Chains A and B, each alone.
Chain A
Amino acid sequence: MNIKKQLKEGLITQNPVLVQLLGMCSAMAISTSISNGLGMGVSVTIILTLSNIIIALLRKIIPNEVRIACYIVVIAGFVTIVDLMLQAFLPDIAASLGVFIPLIVVNCIILGRAEAFASKNTVAAAAVDGICQGIGYTVVLLIMCTVRELLGNGTLMGYQIMPESYTPALMMVLPVGGFICLGVLIAVMQWALNRPKKEKEGK
């Protein structure tokens, strides 16, 4: 088992949002406050892990032609479970995430991992992959939430952080902030990933 390698892939080299460019809709839409980001990140991680496990279990039974439909049904089942759980136990977060919880069904991260990883690997590897990719997604969400909540609202987790005199840049909480924030993050990632290569070439 190379958990360390998979974790590194999930967090950095194959980060679902910043490198594979999957699941951007939800990443931009709900990253306005840290509690939203945490709720979404954890939900996606749970669903991703569970559906990876089930799909890896069924990988030899599912016929190749209808595999996408099968994946979607498995994913939709788990999404419904998580949706109902959130509504029952965390109604505030469920209300602020709104339509984006059922929309996890069409979140490309989950379908993408099912197709690219879970359908070709053992159950244990698929479960680890689900957790690692989920963590990668959550970390990116939290970074975006922190930046947007701090600049757009002057708060973190609802506590006032910026001095009283700070005028919140409302733009950051609006859709504009989401696009630009994610754009800059991906740019930083590309810069960071390309740098070591250039050094090697130089040698």
Chain B
Amino acid sequence: MDLTGLFAISLGAILTNNFIFAQFLGICPFLGVSKKSDTAVGMGLAVTFVMGLASAFCYGVNIILVKLGLEYMQTVAFILVIASLVQFVEMFLKKAIPTLYTALGVYLPLITTNCAVLGVALLNVQNNYNFIESVVYGITGGLGFLLAIFLFANVRERVQFSDYPKSFEGFPIALVTAGLMALAFMGFSGLQVW
């Protein structure tokens, strides 16, 4: 296995091509669940987990689809796989870790409609990643999401107490903050693995 290649994928997914700040995937939960840093971390972890699992399962599903010549059914098949995975994770967490389950609450089923999850499955196919690369991309993409949402939640807790124009209250100021963070993340774009 080519370790440098995997490292390059991870670095790209976490920093240079961060799902939130560079690819605009998963903005809804990013803005919705970032009011407090501890729920943000819970959400980030759940998303990482589902993204890793979804990459693995969708890789298998894609092989079957290609064999049957049904590539055009990708979108439908992937979203069904993801929806059932999320349902499964939900049932598992309810039994095994009830505290995390209640903390995540309504956001857990919402992972189904998180575009980062479907996005990672589709990007894996587009980039022709093999099984290990797909899973690594899924997990590190999730870690990138976790990093972004954690940093953002912390900044947002501070922003609440600062002065800004009245009409910027709520989402607008959050978006401007996210924009400035995206600017900071752009600084990573020079990073390369030789």
Q: Is the CB of B175 within 8 A of A179?
A: yes
From B24, B26, B171, contact of A175 by CB (8 A) = B24
From B23, B109, B118, B174, contact of A102 by CB (8 A) = B118
| Nearest B residue (CB) for A79 | B75
For the residues of B in contact with A, the DSSP-based class is: helix
Write out, one digit per residue, whether chain A residues 124-136 have a CB within 8 A of any chain B CB (1) or not (0).
Answer: 0000000000000
From A25, A72, A103, contact of B122 by CB (8 A) = A103
By a CB distance below 8 angstroms, the chain A residues around B180 are 176
Supposing A99-B126, A179-B182 touch, asked if A188 and B167 sit within 8 A by C-beta, the answer is yes
By a CB distance below 8 angstroms, the chain A residues around B93 are none
Q: Is the CB of A175 within 8 A of B122?
A: no
By a CB distance below 8 angstroms, the chain A residues around B171 are 21, 183, 186
Q: Is the CB of A103 within 8 A of B179?
A: no
Q: Is the CB of B113 within 8 A of A187?
A: no
Query: How far does the alpha carbon of A178 sit from the alpha carbon of B117 in the complex, in Å?
Result: 21
A105 contacts the other chain (CB 8 A): yes
Q: Is the CB of B182 within 8 A of A99?
A: no
From A25, A68, A102, contact of B24 by CB (8 A) = A25
A97 contacts the other chain (CB 8 A): no
Interface residues of B in 1-42 (CB under 8 A from A): 21-28, 31
By a CB distance below 8 angstroms, the chain A residues around B122 are 99, 102-103
Q: Is the CB of B176 within 8 A of A102?
A: no
By a CB distance below 8 angstroms, the chain B residues around A83 are 75
| Nearest B residue (CB) for A24 | B27
A residues adjacent to B (C-beta < 8 A):
21-22, 24-26, 28-29, 68-69, 72-73, 76-77, 79-80, 83-84, 98-99, 102-103, 105-108, 111, 171, 174-180, 182-184, 186-188, 190-191, 194
B residues adjacent to A (C-beta < 8 A):
21-28, 31, 72-76, 79-80, 83, 109, 112-115, 117-119, 122-123, 126, 165-176, 178-180, 182-183, 186
- Jot down 29 A-B pairs with beta carbons below 8 A, ordered by A: A24-B27, A25-B115, A28-B24, A28-B27, A29-B24, A68-B83, A68-B112, A72-B112, A73-B80, A76-B79, A79-B75, A80-B72, A84-B72, A99-B122, A102-B122, A103-B122, A107-B115, A108-B28, A175-B22, A176-B179, A176-B182, A178-B179, A179-B179, A179-B182, A187-B173, A188-B167, A190-B167, A191-B166, A194-B167
